[in-house]
Amino acid sequence: MEWIVLVCSGVLEAVWATALAASHNFRRLWPSVLFVAALAASMAGLAFAMTAIPVGTAYAVWVGIGAVLTAAVAMVTGAEKASLIKVVLLAGIIGCVVGLKAVG
């Protein structure tokens, strides 16, 4: 159960990071509201996951999922230029996250 919550929290990290950028320094209401809600839920999920998963592993997985998804969304929406090397490096992060689960 903790691993499922951790993965969902990592997804929410990407949501709050994307919403933060869309809020334009908290000048837009709905992206700002989404940022606060996703941030709170993401942190709560991370805290719950850390009750059964070691802090280093949980944090690395949470950040890895959030970073990969945030970068992928930015590339898909055109906010960030996509390149083969970026995709390969993001795949490396995914491999490391899977590896942490496998050895954990």
DSSP at 83: -
Print the domain residue range for 38. 2-103
CA neighbor of 53 nearest in space, from 93, 97, 16: 97
Predicted TM-score of the model (pTM): 0.92
Q: How many domains does the chain have?
A: 1
Rounded to a whole number of angstroms, the distance between the first and last alpha carbons of the chain is 15
The answer to whether the beta carbons of residues 30 and 81 sit under 8 Å apart is no
Q: What is the pLDDT of residue 62?
A: 97
| pLDDT tens by residue, 84-103 | 999 999 999 999 999 988 99
Q: What is the pLDDT of residue 104?
A: 73
HSE toward the beta carbon, residue 6, CA cutoff 13 A: 24
Q: Looking up tokens 């159960």, which residue turns up?
A: 1
Query: Beta-carbon neighbour count of residue 42 at 10 Å?
Result: 22
The answer to whether the beta carbons of residues 23 and 32 sit under 8 Å apart is yes
In angstroms, the CA 22 to CA 71 distance is 14
| pLDDT tens by residue, 35-83 | 999 999 999 999 999 999 999 999 999 999 999 999 999 999 999 999 9
| pLDDT tens by residue, 7-47 | 999 999 999 999 999 999 999 999 999 999 999 999 999 99
